[in-house]
């Protein structure tokens, strides 16, 4: 063993490993499952950036006591680096006017029907240069990182032409070269029906299947494919056709479902073994049961519910039923322009009746599972990547308690 490549972090006030959450695959999380170690130590191999040992400082094996690179972490609370598993981060402009209209009584679907909503951002994003998109996205990523986030999923979907979708995905690719945060690209051409295909959604679906998905996979620009199932957007049959084509080309599946109506999107996600199904504000009991017996992760978006004034997802029923529940900001210009993932734990606890332990699991291990990355990140265990979030609170309970202000 080369001691020169090892680093010892000692006297950590509190280390939240989530080892029990990982052992239970993210289901039925309790306080005990957080695997909290008081006065902890962590040994890391700097060559591989992986954890070699973790435990109480007083139990540090003799072989590690001679490590040259030692750091005292007194007063620090450690958690796994936070995982943001659902964003629409690359876009131009804002939708403050949409917010004003909603505040005057119009619904999200009414605004969209009048040409607002996603189509407003589509127009601005199509016109924006790559440099403009990069500069804005860097600011947003930096804000996420300052609040403890180390991995961010980013969807396309504000271009809705092959050229513009490629521009967004290549922007994500470029961002990965200049930021330290780990980025996960998702191809989402089925975010809305573009103006040029108005009243011709089947033609648009056919085009995506026959031309766009093959091109994106050939260019290796995405890991996931996503679709928004909702009235006025994409139907379940259309979504199934899109997802099956994407799976056939090697993309994993994520699905937006049950945000405003229960239309069968969750059932489709379970059937297709999607990595996650997101929103679920109006999920029905039958689909809760199906999801609870599925590896598909339920990704809940409390910030979107807060911002739009719509019902929160039934987190308590999902968790009690056995579902794996993750939390996200759903950062986007229309329904949640917030980059504050810790704030989502506060909303989860106060508005969705989740426990603090469940909310912490929701932005770490279960969020990693929503990206298929739980074997690498999401918990602090021997063999996993050394990616930590360090906070200055009295305990991990400070994270939701401080109302999103803890940095």
Say yes or no: 393 and 351 in one domain: no
Say yes or no: 205 and 350 in one domain: yes
What is the span of the domain harbouring residue 30? Answer: 3-80+380-401
Say yes or no: 176 and 254 in one domain: yes
Say yes or no: 74 and 123 in one domain: no
The tally of domains found in the chain comes to 2
Sheet holding 82-84, edge to edge: 82-84, 149-155, 182-190, 224-228, 252-257, 276-279, 297-300, 325-327
Say yes or no: 86 and 76 in one domain: no
Provide the β-strand partners of residue 229: 234
Burial of 256 (0-12, 13-18, 19+ CB in 10 A): buried
CATH number of the domain where residue 101 is located: 3.20.20.140
Distances (CA, A) of 365 to 33, 85, 373: 11, 11, 9
Burial of 365 (0-12, 13-18, 19+ CB in 10 A): buried
Eight-class DSSP state of 352: S
Say yes or no: 133 and 25 in one domain: no
CA torsion angle 269 274 275 276 (round to 10): -20
Say yes or no: 43 and 178 in one domain: no
Look at residue 115 and give its three-state secondary structure: coil
Supply 337's token pair: 């322009």
Return the closest-CA partner of residue 154 out of 105, 86, 95. 86
Asked, for residue 189, whether it belongs to a domain, the answer is yes
Q: Could you list the pLDDT tens digit for every one of the 407 residues in the chain? A: 677 899 999 999 999 999 999 999 999 999 999 999 999 999 999 999 999 999 999 999 999 999 999 999 999 999 999 999 999 999 999 988 888 888 888 887 788 777 777 888 999 999 999 999 999 999 999 999 999 999 999 999 999 999 999 999 999 999 999 999 999 999 999 999 999 999 999 999 999 999 999 999 999 999 999 999 999 999 999 999 999 999 999 999 999 999 999 999 999 999 999 999 999 999 999 999 999 999 999 999 999 999 989 999 999 999 999 999 999 999 999 999 999 999 999 999 999 999 999 999 999 999 999 999 999 999 999 999 999 999 988 899 999 999 877 66
Say yes or no: 318 and 357 in one domain: yes
Say yes or no: 49 and 196 in one domain: no
d(CA 378, CA 364) in angstroms, rounded, equals 5
d(CA 7, CA 209) in angstroms, rounded, equals 49
Q: What integer pLDDT is reported at residue 190 of this predicted model?
A: 97
Say yes or no: 23 and 46 in one domain: yes
Asked, for residue 271, whether it belongs to a domain, the answer is yes
Q: What integer pLDDT is reported at residue 407 of this predicted model?
A: 62
CB 308 within 8 A of CB 67: no
CA geometry: angle at 73 spanning 70 and 77, to 5°?
A: 140
| H/E run at residue 149 | strand 149-155
Asked, for residue 407, whether it belongs to a domain, the answer is no
Asked, for residue 317, whether it belongs to a domain, the answer is yes
d(CA 3, CA 228) in angstroms, rounded, equals 51
CB 236 within 8 A of CB 265: yes
CB 117 within 8 A of CB 333: no
Residues 135-174 as b/e (b if ≥16 CB within 10 A, e otherwise) read ebbeebbeebbebbbbbbbbbbbbbbeeebbbbbbbbbee
Which three-class secondary structure string do you get for 56-94? EHHHCCHHHCCCCEEEECCCCEEEECEEECCECCCCCCC
Say yes or no: 243 and 128 in one domain: yes
Asked, for residue 375, whether it belongs to a domain, the answer is no
Distances (CA, A) of 171 to 127, 211, 309: 14, 21, 32
CATH number of the domain where residue 54 is located: 2.30.40.10
Q: Tally helices (H) and strands (E) across the chain.
A: 17, 14
Asked, for residue 310, whether it belongs to a domain, the answer is yes
Q: What integer pLDDT is reported at residue 1 of this predicted model?
A: 64
Burial of 286 (0-12, 13-18, 19+ CB in 10 A): exposed
Asked, for residue 50, whether it belongs to a domain, the answer is yes
Asked, for residue 374, whether it belongs to a domain, the answer is no
Say yes or no: 239 and 286 in one domain: yes
Q: What integer pLDDT is reported at residue 107 of this predicted model?
A: 82
């Amino acid at each position: 063993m080369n001691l020169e490549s090892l680093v010892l972090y000692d006297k950590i006030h509190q280390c939240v490993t989530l080892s029990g959450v990982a052992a239970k695959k993210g289901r039925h999380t309790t306080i005990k499952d957080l695997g909290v170690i008081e006065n902890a130590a962590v040994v890391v191999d700097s060559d591989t950036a992986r954890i070699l040992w973790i435990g109480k400082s007083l139990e540090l094996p003799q072989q590690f006591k001679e490590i040259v690179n030692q750091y005292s972490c007194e007063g620090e609370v450690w958690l796994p680096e936070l995982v943001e598993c659902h964003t629409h981060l690359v876009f131009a402009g804002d939708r403050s006017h949409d917010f004003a209209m909603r505040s005057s009584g119009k619904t999200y679907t009414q605004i969209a029907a009048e040409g607002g909503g996603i189509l407003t951002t589509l127009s601005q994003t199509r016109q924006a240069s790559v440099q403009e998109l990069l500069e804005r996205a860097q600011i947003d990523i930096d804000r996420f990182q300052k609040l403890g986030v180390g991995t961010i999923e980013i969807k396309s979907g504000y271009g809705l032409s092959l050229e513009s979708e490629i521009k967004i995905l290549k922007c994500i690719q470029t961002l990965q070269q200049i930021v330290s945060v780990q980025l996960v690209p998702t191809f989402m051409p089925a975010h809305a029906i573009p103006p040029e295909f108005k009243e011709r959604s089947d033609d648009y679906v056919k085009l995506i299947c026959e031309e766009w998905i093959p091109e994106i996979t050939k260019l290796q620009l995405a890991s996931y494919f996503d679709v928004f199932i909702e009235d006025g957007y994409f139907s379940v049959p259309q979504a199934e056709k899109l997802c099956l084509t994407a799976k056939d080309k090697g993309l994993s599946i994520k699905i937006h479902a049950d945000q405003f109506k229960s239309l069968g999107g969750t059932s489709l996600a379970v059937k297709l073994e999607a990595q996650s199904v997101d929103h679920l504000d109006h999920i029905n009991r039958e689909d809760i049961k199906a999801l609870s017996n599925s590896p598909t992760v339920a990704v809940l978006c409390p910030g979107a519910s807060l911002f739009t004034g719509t019902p929160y997802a039934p987190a308590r029923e999902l968790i009690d039923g056995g579902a794996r529940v993750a939390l996200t900001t759903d950062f986007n210009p229309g329904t949640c322009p917030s980059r504050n993932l810790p704030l989502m734990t506060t909303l989860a606890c106060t508005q969705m009746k989740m426990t603090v332990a469940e909310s912490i699991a929701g932005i770490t291990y279960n969020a990693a599972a929503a990206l298929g990355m739980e074997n690498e990140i999401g918990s602090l265990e021997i063999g996993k990547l050394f990616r930590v979030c360090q906070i200055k609170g009295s305990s991990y309970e400070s994270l939701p308690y401080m109302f999103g202000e803890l940095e």
